[in-house]
Amino acid sequence: MNLETYINEFSKYVINILMILYTIECFCVFLHKDEEKRKGVYIRQNIFMFAFHFCSFMVICFETGKVSYLLFYAIQQIILYMAVVLYKWLYPKTNRLIVNNMCMLMSISFVFLTRLDYSKAVKQFMIGSTSLVVALIIPFFIRNMKLLKNLKWIYAIAGIFLLGLVYILGTTTYGSKISYSIGGLSFQPAEFVKLIFVFFVASALYKSHTLSEVLFSAIIAAAHVGIQVLNKDLGSALIFFIIYLLMVYVATKNVIYLALGISAGCGAAVFAYHFFTHIQVRVQAFIDPWSVIDSTGYQITQSLFAISSAGLWGLGLYQGTPNTIPFVEDDFIFSAITEEMGIIFGICLLLVCISTFIMIMSISSKLGDSFYQLIAFGLGVCYIFQVFLTVGGGTKFIPLTGVTLPMVSYGGSSILTTLVMFAIIEGLYMIREDEALKARKRHEERMRKKKERLRKEKERRKKLKEQNRIKNVYDDNDDVYAFEDDVPIENNITDNEYVYSEYDENTSQDYISDPVEDDITITDDLDLMEYSTIYYNEDEHEKEIRRKKETQKKI
Amino acid sequence: MNMKKRSEEKKKHKRKFNLQIFIVTCFFVLLFGAMSVYIVNYSITHKIELISNSYNTRAKVLAKKNIRGSIYADDGQVLVSSYIDESGAEVRDYKFGKLFAHVVGYSVNGRMGIEDRYNYYLINTNAPVTVKAAKDQKKEKYPADDVYTTLNVDLQKVASDSLGVYRGAIIVTEPATGKVLAMVSKPDFDPATIADNWDSYLEDTESGVLVNRATQGLYPAGSTFKILTSIEYIKENPENYDQYRYNCTGSFSKGEDKIQCYHGSVHGSLDFKSSFAKSCNSSFANIGMTINKDKFGETLEEMLFNTELPTDDFDCSVSRLDVSDDTSDSDMMQIAIGQGPVSISVMHLNMITCAIANNGLLMKPYVVERIANCEGKNIKTYKSEKYGNIMGEDDAAILRNMMESVVSDGTGRRLKTDKYYAAGKTGSAEYGSVKGESHAWFTGYAGMIDGKEKQSPDICITIIVEGAGAGGEYAVPIAKRLFDAYYGVEMEEQ
């Protein structure tokens, strides 16, 4: 018996199957609308995730023969477990799919960084776990800081300042200025500026979106993009552009802005192509990397070699040669993962990212407050577009831009930013839950009042009837009906009340048919969502009516 | 009024999602869907191509892990295999030396032939895990997968021996399937010593030892091209092609241009079939003047001129010939008899002959039947594949009849036998500036005779002997030996 041979041969299937199961669960989440009902899914996800992590590290230990890796595994395991538990404990109302995906992606990252470069894996792990702790407080801040809405000038200045600083002080690595060092630690400010930028666009456009507001934000956005082009960091320039474009589209609901933005973007791209040789080089390496395989096409062709040698189930951990790709831990980690774990695993990884994205978008669309909605949307786009750029670039689907795969690639700034990003989204998710809860409470309050009113009305009518009967002036049935018709409920209540009753009529049916009518703690996503929308619409409606009344009074 | 307002409000409430966000979500989901499809498709379709790239180090890694697979002949004889010598180095053992030099190829100093085309399989292993475990125990390399070819050792030997010291090429195929049974190119080399002789082969630009003449060589077609001229003539005159008459006086002139019959023969009164059988240049120059040049150009395209040949297992040179209304009469006279700007690869001529033998239906030529792991379990099989009809069934029948007349009373009389029937077309393609120097061509097929009934053709042979002379004298006897060998006929006294 030669155990190693068998482990070599079969471990990849086991790891692949665990990944497939995990991915399936990612989408099973969407089958249940109730976070409570999703519990089972989340627990299964945790099991698959830890099993994947365990199996992978077993293989690593077997292949390398280093037992010290087991210790590293154990510490990782503790941190990841703590992340899952702490989020649940500190914020019982968080969305656990995002937490799980975050941990899954991190464990994939740790496995592959250990396989590619142990020292980098340790460094990444240190930064990752510190960032996790930092990120833990963020949902609390997001939930309780209403101030964030009014800081648009600070966001704009901070963003441009940080990027400009890179332009002035940054060190040039391989043609682009992306980082500067403070006290031995190297930072990539563009990563953080992405978050600040999302906050900027949201704060600039959430209240109103007149042409002047859009123009103002467009100028600031163009400044971000422009500095990044000068820094030769095309990837993040593109990310800023897309975030801005799509956020404007969602804020204004106006397709014309989208069309204008796309045509402006295309114009700028053509312009940039003619004036910047490094862009021409990139495009050339995309169109025909084989002709420049010695120079600018080397990276992409090595990446293509890695992906094409994978096959469906991969070569198995340590069976491939992903280290032939330059910067494999940063920009090409997807190719390395695919080579050794297979195309199926690679596609599953993409699906995990997509499920995270869909969840963020669903949170965003259900948020009542447009500021928070825009933030969630912007961060979601920022996340998925990064994934698209790095995976598409590494597989020659689009030209290479040199972006990291969030959570998975090596890079301290990247992992910190992504963890903060997810934490913000968790905070927004809680805000949404709060909104929904508030809406439901108000709704119930109204229901109670309405019932009260109806009860009083009934009593009053009963009394009237009684009185009529006692008087016994007419003993004709017709007149009793006539009497009821003559006293329409509407006439007896104020306009304001009328509005309430109208809304109640609309929703009371659904609501009453809801079996969990009185259970406030139940957080059914869709129903709560409905209430929150009603609540917001109603609020506006009330205000309008009040305004009308006031104007009438004045007249 | 109230009702309307109310229903509008209701609709608003029912919309539980934000349309813009929904659109963006869908957009990204579709984008990722497209990207996933692309990745799967790219990685699967480029797998074999990319592993052969010299910048890809993975081939070297695999070569270190696995011992290179063997290549087998159609009857299971080993053509090439690898073993580990005493010093621990892997040695590639070419059992038949020079015999399969070009078709099997080599795998050092670059690669060629099957060793190149099927390199991916020869370095990858699908050995069962038990075998791997056993090899790991002994600290040995895994056995890689093996390639099983359609090559026939006996035919290859006959072909190689017959060509002797002449330069040239021979291809033997099965017209009904497209299987390549033998492929010889001379001069040849010993793949085992290729690394040692590499520099001398490179220096020797004149003989082109490393060129597979069967697939890469481009030759003037000579009289074998009359097949194509005939196809066009039959196409244009389907009713009355057999009423064609010509009186050969040894030459045909138009304006200042003059076409002479080979070695100044005078063929006298000829019809279409006898013009073909006797390979009369004057008569075909005359035919060439009557055919529509544009349509001829189209026919040539259909016959795979100026296009890549559909041969997955071989890199073939593209045969070149452009004919259109702009072609001058002087050129047309030359083209009609296969001289002038006509260049054709041996493989191409073989494929045209195969299509004629197979009722116009061309099968894609192939040389590898299957890939199997070290225990003989199939990993991949290659079936014979149709390319399509490159000529009509009736036209093919007429041409077969004409090619049979070449053997019965034409330039291929040496092929007459009662053991089987043969048919074909000879050619003597003049080359260079010196008058009289010519390559000897033969392309044809043979089949069994069952009573008086001719069975459908079994094999198809195309031969070129460089600088030998007339096809009827030099190429036909080689064909005879190959047909005899194929049908197991004892060598007749020569």
> Where do the DSSP E strands lie in B417-456?
420-430, 438-450, 453-454
- The verdict on B386 touching A (C-beta cutoff 8 Å) is no
Predicted pLDDT of residue B15: 43
Phi-psi region of B447 (alpha: psi -120 to 50; beta: other; left: phi over 0): beta
Residue A361 has its nearest CB partner, among B2, B25, B46, at B25
Contacts 24+ apart (CB under 8 A), A58-67: A58/A7, A58/A11, A59/A7, A59/A11, A59/A15, A59/A316, A59/A317, A59/A318, A60/A111, A60/A114, A60/A115, A60/A317, A60/A318, A62/A3, A62/A4, A62/A7, A63/A4, A63/A8, A63/A317, A63/A318, A64/A318
CA B20 – CA A554 distance, rounded (Å): 40
Least confident range from A79-93, A435-449, A460-474: namely A460-474
Check whether A492 has a pLDDT greater than 60.
no
Residue A176 confidence class, pLDDT cut points 50, 70, 90: low
- Nearest CA-CA distance, residue B13 and chain A, Å: 7
Pairing of strands B438-450, B453-454: antiparallel
Tokens, residue B82: 């690898």
- In sequence order, the 6+-apart residues with CB closer than 8 A to the CB of A305 are A324, B50, B51, B53, B55, B56, B58
Q: What average pLDDT does the segment A357-373 reach?
A: 89
Number of neighbours of residue B397 by Cβ within 10 angstroms = 13
Phi-psi region of A179 (alpha: psi -120 to 50; beta: other; left: phi over 0): beta
Predicted pLDDT of residue A529: 47
Q: What is the pLDDT of residues B377-424, one digit of tens each?
A: 898 999 988 999 998 888 899 999 899 988 888 888 888 888 899 999
- The verdict on B9 touching A (C-beta cutoff 8 Å) is yes
Check whether B457 has a pLDDT greater than 50.
yes
Least confident range from B2-16, B348-362, B410-424: namely B2-16
- In sequence order, the 6+-apart residues with CB closer than 8 A to the CB of A92 are none
Provide, as residue numbers in chain A, all residues whose Cβ is less than 8 Å from the Cβ of B56: 305, 309
Q: Tokens 């190959």 sit at which residue?
A: B482
Predicted pLDDT of residue A520: 39
Predicted pLDDT of residue A513: 35
Least confident range from A128-137, A385-394, B8-17, B239-248: namely B8-17
Put simply, the answer to whether A395 touches B42 (Cβ < 8 Å) is yes
Q: What average pLDDT does the segment B54-83 reach?
A: 88
Predicted pLDDT of residue A93: 80
Check whether A489 has a pLDDT greater than 80.
no
- In sequence order, the 6+-apart residues with CB closer than 8 A to the CB of B317 are B215, B216, B217, B218, B345
Q: Tokens 């996933």 sit at which residue?
A: B36
Put simply, the answer to whether B10 touches A506 (Cβ < 8 Å) is yes
DSSP state string for A467-516: HHHHH-S---HHHHHHHHHHS-HHHHS-HHHHHHHHHHHHHHHHHHH-TT
The domain at B218-366+386-487 falls in which architecture? Answer: 3-Layer(aba) Sandwich (3.40)
Name the burial class of residue B197, with classes exposed (0-12), middle (13-18) and buried (19+) by CB atoms within 10 angstroms of its CB: middle
Least confident range from A80-89, A112-121, A140-149, A193-202: namely A140-149
Predicted pLDDT of residue B169: 93
- The verdict on B133 touching A (C-beta cutoff 8 Å) is yes
Predicted pLDDT of residue B473: 79
CA angle A184, A186, A190 (to 5 degrees): 155
Predicted pLDDT of residue A482: 45
Asked if B442 and B471 touch (Cβ cutoff 8 Å), the reply is yes
- In sequence order, the 6+-apart residues with CB closer than 8 A to the CB of B50 are A304, A305, A308, A309, B56
Predicted pLDDT of residue B186: 86
Helices and strands, counts by H and E, chain A: 20, 3
Predicted pLDDT of residue A246: 93
Check whether A483 has a pLDDT greater than 60.
no
The helix (H) or strand (E) run that includes residue B254 is strand B251-254
Kindly report the pTM of this predicted structure. 0.76
Check whether A293 has a pLDDT greater than 90.
no
Q: What average pLDDT does the segment A297-319 reach?
A: 88
Between these two residues, B423 and A33, which has the higher pLDDT value?
A: B423
Check whether A504 has a pLDDT greater than 50.
no
In order of B82, B114, B310, B313, B376, the CA distances from B144 in angstroms are: 10, 15, 28, 20, 11
Between these two residues, A36 and A361, which has the higher pLDDT value?
A: A361
CA nearest B257: which of B333, B197, B185? B333
- The verdict on B54 touching A (C-beta cutoff 8 Å) is no
Tokens, residue A481: 């009906």
Contacts 24+ apart (CB under 8 A), A402-405: A402/A176, A402/A233, A402/A234, A402/A235, A402/A331, A403/A235, A403/A236, A403/A239, A403/A331, A404/A330, A404/A331, A404/A333, A405/A333, A405/A334
Between these two residues, A444 and A546, which has the higher pLDDT value?
A: A444
Asked if A91 and A430 touch (Cβ cutoff 8 Å), the reply is yes
Check whether B371 has a pLDDT greater than 90.
yes
Provide, as residue numbers in chain B, all residues whose Cβ is less than 8 Å from the Cβ of A209: none
Q: What is the pLDDT of residues A416-447, one digit of tens each?
A: 999 999 999 988 888 888 888 888 888 899 99
Provide, as residue numbers in chain B, all residues whose Cβ is less than 8 Å from the Cβ of A296: none
Check whether A154 has a pLDDT greater than 50.
yes
Predicted pLDDT of residue A173: 66
- Nearest CA-CA distance, residue B476 and chain A, Å: 47
Provide, as residue numbers in chain B, all residues whose Cβ is less than 8 Å from the Cβ of A399: none
Asked if A243 and A378 touch (Cβ cutoff 8 Å), the reply is yes
Residue A309 has its nearest CB partner, among B24, B51, B136, at B51
Predicted pLDDT of residue A177: 67
CA A173 – CA A188 distance, rounded (Å): 12
- The verdict on B32 touching A (C-beta cutoff 8 Å) is yes
Put simply, the answer to whether A305 touches B132 (Cβ < 8 Å) is no
- Nearest CA-CA distance, residue B205 and chain A, Å: 27
Residue A187: phi, psi to the nearest 5?
-110, 150
Predicted pLDDT of residue B12: 45
Between these two residues, A484 and A168, which has the higher pLDDT value?
A: A168
Residue A381 has its nearest CB partner, among B9, B24, B136, at B24
Give this complex's ipTM.
Answer: 0.82
Q: What is the pLDDT of residues B160-202, one digit of tens each?
A: 998 888 899 999 999 999 999 999 998 888 888 888 888 888 7
Average model confidence (pLDDT) across chain A: 82
Asked if B461 and B445 touch (Cβ cutoff 8 Å), the reply is yes
CA B22 – CA B8 distance, rounded (Å): 21
CA B191 – CA B297 distance, rounded (Å): 41
Mutation target for A interface from B1, B7, B18: give the one with most A CBs within 10 A. Answer: B18
Provide, as residue numbers in chain B, all residues whose Cβ is less than 8 Å from the Cβ of A354: 28-29, 32
Check whether A486 has a pLDDT greater than 70.
no
Tell me the CB-side half-sphere exposure of residue B455, using CA atoms within 13 A. Answer: 13
CA A13 – CA A344 distance, rounded (Å): 10
- Going from N- to C-terminal start, the domains of chain B cover 218-366+386-487
Put simply, the answer to whether B42 touches A354 (Cβ < 8 Å) is no
- Nearest CA-CA distance, residue A410 and chain B, Å: 23
CA A465 – CA A480 distance, rounded (Å): 8
